Amino acid sequence: MNSISIPSSLSCLPSSPNNTRTPYIRLSHSPFANNWFPSLSIQPTSISYKPTTCGVAPTEGTVSVLNFEDFAEKDWSFLDADDINSDEVYKQNSDRIISAAKLGEDSSILISTGSEGFVDRVVETCSYKQLLVVHDSLFVLACIKEKYDKVKCWQGELIYVPEKWAPFDVVFLYFVPGLPFDLGQVFGVLSKVCLPGARIVISHPKGREMLKQQKAEYPDVVVADLPDKTTLESVASDHSFTIAEFIDEPGFYLAVLANHV
């Protein structure tokens, strides 16, 4: 399992002329959660890893270099393919998803595999105590961190998220079809890090019709389907969750589950 916390200053270069997003991430040596992290520089051709020590400037030499193809990540750009600023339906559906979570000033939120646009909506429209974004893509997290320094970011798989940020009272499973685990594994982990009464929100702002198109175009990323109500009820009940709301329309999907431990 490869994972990295992203607590520090990052650089996220704009899209290239051909609309291909170029990963470029720079993590400065800084304290986070009682740990010190080295400086990491990711560029299209190589990865440079330069350890540093508190109070000592990093050395000029490169300790190790990997070919970028060894670090190639999945293309998640389709989650933000629409022009969110002008897509009123997308914005309205995103707001419906956020509203279903019933966020408050003391909310501790986890967003799994969220698009940049969705994270923007949460930050811009909600009050909360803590926000943690978990994603497979270092590039997506870098761009989020560049905009919102107070948002915590963790790169890796959802089921391996450290419990140091728990407990959560709201979890957004923004793109379940991109998770390489069955729902039983996911709910098993969430049952351990969620507060009593916590709400899990599973969603797709464009529903199954868009998901079908995404699966055809990105089969290496979209590895599952949205759960139907019967499947969701069965898995949820095994982990002390119940369905509070369920909408499965061609152009919108929303499932809200409450923890009754």
Q: Where are the extended beta strands (E) located within 51-129?
A: 64-67, 108-112
pLDDT(230) > 60? yes
pLDDT(33) > 60? no
Asked if residues 111 and 118 have their Cβ atoms less than 8 Å apart, the reply is yes
Q: Which helix (H) or strand (E) segment is 138 a member of? A: helix 138-147
pLDDT for 6 equals 57
Tell me which amino acid residue 115 is: S
Secondary structure letter of residue 226 according to DSSP: P
Q: What is the mean pLDDT of the chain?
A: 79
CA distance 112 to 119: 10
pLDDT(25) > 70? no
Say whether 57 sits in a helix, a strand or coil.
coil
pLDDT for 63 equals 42
Say whether 112 sits in a helix, a strand or coil.
strand
Please list, in sequence order, all residues whose beta carbon lies within 8 angstroms of the beta carbon of residue 115, skipping any fewer than 6 positions away.
76, 79, 80, 174, 175
Average pLDDT rounded to a whole number, residues 183-210: 96
CA distance 193 to 154: 16
Structure tokens at 137: 């893509």
pLDDT(36) > 70? no
Distance of CA 188 to the CA centre of its chain: 18
pLDDT for 168 equals 98
pLDDT(112) > 70? yes
Average pLDDT rounded to a whole number, residues 247-252: 96
CA distance 208 to 205: 9
Average pLDDT rounded to a whole number, residues 20-48: 37
Secondary structure letter of residue 176 according to DSSP: G
pLDDT(59) > 70? no
Q: What is the pLDDT of residues 116-175, one digit of tens each?
A: 999 999 999 999 999 999 999 999 999 999 999 999 999 999 999 999 999 999 999 999
Secondary structure letter of residue 53 according to DSSP: B
Asked if residues 244 and 236 have their Cβ atoms less than 8 Å apart, the reply is no
pLDDT for 202 equals 98
CA distance 259 to 179: 21
The residue with tokens 């949460």 is 122
CA distance 45 to 244: 48
Domains of the chain plus CATH, in order, are 4-71 (no CATH), 77-259 (3.40.50.150)
Q: Quickly state the pLDDT bin for 81 (edges 50, 70, 90).
A: low
pLDDT for 102 equals 97
Q: Quickly state the pLDDT bin for 48 (edges 50, 70, 90).
A: very low
pTM value is 0.76
CA distance 150 to 19: 29
pLDDT for 119 equals 97
Tell me which amino acid residue 259 is: N
Say whether 234 sits in a helix, a strand or coil.
helix
Percent of the chain with pLDDT over 90: 64
Average pLDDT rounded to a whole number, residues 51-60: 39
Q: Quickly state the pLDDT bin for 86 (edges 50, 70, 90).
A: low
